[in-house]
Structure 1
Amino acid sequence: MTKINIQADCNNAPKKEFLKNFNIAFATADTDFLLNHVDEDIQWTIYGDKKIEGKAHFEKAVLEMKNYVADEMGIFTIITHGAEAAVNGSMKMKDKSYAFCDIYQFKSAGSKIITKMYSYVIKEN
């Protein structure tokens, strides 16, 4: 079971609450939640690694992640403004730790459908 530590205050902000849940879905490999909240034409750039285009390729990538469920995840900051947002935190998987920052672009300011993601992931020592 994944230990979740949320330091970011969602403070009755629906988009922040959604992003908290979206990141928890990544950590716990809840692929259904992830797939239900991305656009058919999703573009996901993982800097230094790969670019994923289209929901079918996104699905393949997140299904592969089921083998890498996080032991622990922390969310430190969630920032939202209009149709854009950012989340930063950390994740521990077995004996490895990672810091991450994800930038999100939504269909519109009121949407919970993600059209673009930009991920920065750094392995911590």
Structure 2
Amino acid sequence: MFSIEIRRTFAVRQGLPAPVRDAKNLPPLMPVEGFRVTMRVGFSFEDDQLGERGWFVDTDALDESVDRCAERLASGVWPEIFDFRPSFENVAKWAFTELASTIPQLTYVELDNETIGVATRYVRSH
């Protein structure tokens, strides 16, 4: 079995309140320029799914979908972009749903907030 991962790194502005930090009068974690996030998009396939070119799918063909998703995440403050509460969990699930129609056998989407060292991964249920 093979597993392929496509990555994009960009800045996001989540824009949600931090009740625990606020209650302790701590400064916000998000820098002015936003959190540095790496989105990881993974898909898997079996040995017998390799084509005559030695691949399952040309990843160049998937770049447009992944880039479009990353650009949307980086395009503004999340509460202004999404109609739902944009926690990292909800946004990872949204990204999975967005990409599932164009990436065959998508297995996960991960949003790794490198600024604070927390990664959130949405995995397809079987």
Task: Give TM-score, length-normalised by structure 1.
Answer: 0.27
Higher RCO (CA < 8 A, seq sep 6+): 2
Which entry has the higher C-alpha Rg, 1 or 2?
Answer: 2
Task: Give TM-score, length-normalised by structure 2.
Answer: 0.27
